[in-house]
Amino acid sequence: MAAVDELAFHEFEEAANLLVETPHAATTCRSDQLTSQDHVAVTVGSSVGYGAEEVEEEGDKTALLQEEKPQPGFWTFGYYQSFFDVDTAQVLDRIKGSLLPWPGHNFVRHHLRNRPDLYGPFWICATLAFVLAVTGNLTLVLAQRRDPSIHYSPQFHKVTVAGITIYCYAWLVPLALWGFLRWRQGARERIGPYTFLETVCVYGYSLFVFIPTVVLWLIPVSWLQWLFGALALTLSAAGLVFTLWPVVREDTRLVAAALLSAVVLLHALLAVGCKLYFFQPLPLERVVPSLQAASLPPNILLPPTQPHPMATS
């Protein structure tokens, strides 16, 4: 009988009281509620896991496609497209870094960050060549206004000369420097030179300081022109020396001093050559006759020269 009483249905007092107080309330089974919650939890968990698996599979497929995608060749346009992928903020930051060099500040490590670009060097060289040609012609125009005896004719060949000079310097000198450092790397394993594009980028941005300097060379004061040129050369050469010093300091003192001296000397030859060619003084045969004509009064005529008697005999 005890077993039968245990199996019989017993009404709990708390449940009875609740039913009495709220006769219209709906009753639910606890086991059904637990079952439904478990079912929902399993369903949600399975859906989330399936979505994560899909995302992971898509990521794997993308990585495989990127690996299988062939890299463009050296002679194609797509190979160089990544070197022009820079924004205005990056270009301005690199220009600022080239204008404000100081010891211990490496332009490659602090500004390039292993991402050299050709956008900045290309347009800096193009702008410098154009400004050199234009200011060289403007110098003659201003000189003609001061002295009407000077005949001015547009010198379009200066654009070609400036472009060839600037671009050859910005590419050939870094190529020679990079090749020399690679050769020295074979001689000394501790030397780690920059890549060729990093060297080109350093030289390209170092030429930016000459753009405002060339504009200031329009001031017709010789000593002031040379002062602006010396200041620009100091800033530009200092940026090159501070950038190259971590690479060459592990080499011998003779090689390091000779290399840095050659870098500064070539930079100085470029600046002085541009100053003397595009802002050359007027020829003497144009200046001396104008000074003689200005010193003589207009009513005085020079007597004609008589031949010497010994010359006729």
Looking at every residue in the chain, the average pLDDT score rounds to 74
| Predicted pLDDT of residue 39 | 43
Compare 72 and 81 and report the one with higher pLDDT.
81
Of 108-112, 141-145, 165-169, least confident by mean pLDDT is 141-145
| Predicted pLDDT of residue 105 | 80
Residues in contact with 184: Cβ distance below 8 Å, sequence separation at least 6, in sequence order:
191, 193, 251, 255
- Which residue in 212, 201, 253 sits closest to 235, CA to CA? 212
- Given a contact cutoff of 8 angstroms between Cβ atoms, the answer to whether 211 and 128 are in contact is yes
Compare 9 and 237 and report the one with higher pLDDT.
237
Positive or negative, the CA dihedral 38, 44, 47, 51 is negative
The per-residue pLDDT for range 13-64, each reduced to its tens digit, is: 555 555 545 555 555 444 444 444 444 443 444 444 444 444 455 555 544 4
- Given a contact cutoff of 8 angstroms between Cβ atoms, the answer to whether 86 and 120 are in contact is yes
From the CA atom positions of the chain, what is the Rg in Å? Answer: 41
Helix residue spans in 100-156 (DSSP H): 107, 119-146
The arithmetic mean of pLDDT across residues 73-95, rounded, is 79
User: What is the enclosing helix (H) or strand (E) of 64?
Assistant: helix 30-68
- Which residue in 127, 137, 152 sits closest to 213, CA to CA? 127
Taking each helix axis from N to C end, the angle separating 88-99 and 119-146, rounded to the nearest 10 degrees, works out to 60
| Predicted pLDDT of residue 236 | 94
The per-residue pLDDT for range 246-288, each reduced to its tens digit, is: 888 888 889 999 999 999 999 999 999 999 999 876 554 444 4
At 239, list the tokens.
Answer: 């940026």
Compare 205 and 56 and report the one with higher pLDDT.
205
| Predicted pLDDT of residue 144 | 76
Round to whole Å and give the CA distance between 15 and 26.
Answer: 12
DSSP secondary structure letter of residue 83: G
| Predicted pLDDT of residue 70 | 61
Taking each helix axis from N to C end, the angle separating 157-187 and 196-206, rounded to the nearest 10 degrees, works out to 140
The arithmetic mean of pLDDT across residues 190-198, rounded, is 76
Of 76-80, 92-96, 224-228, 246-250, least confident by mean pLDDT is 76-80
Judge whether residue 7 has pLDDT over 90.
Answer: no
Percentage of the chain beyond pLDDT 70 is 62
* pLDDT band for position 87 (cuts 50, 70, 90): confident
| Predicted pLDDT of residue 114 | 79
Provide the whole-model pTM: 0.66
Give CA separation, 282 vs 43, 186, 225, 229, 288, in Å. 91, 51, 16, 20, 10
| Predicted pLDDT of residue 146 | 76
DSSP secondary structure letter of residue 82: G
Domain range annotation of the chain: 42-71, 88-281
How many angstroms from the chain centroid is the CA of residue 123? 10
| DSSP-derived secondary structure for 22-62 | -TTPPP--HHHHHHHHHHHHHHHHHHHHHHHHHHHHHHHHH
* pLDDT band for position 160 (cuts 50, 70, 90): very high
The arithmetic mean of pLDDT across residues 283-312, rounded, is 47
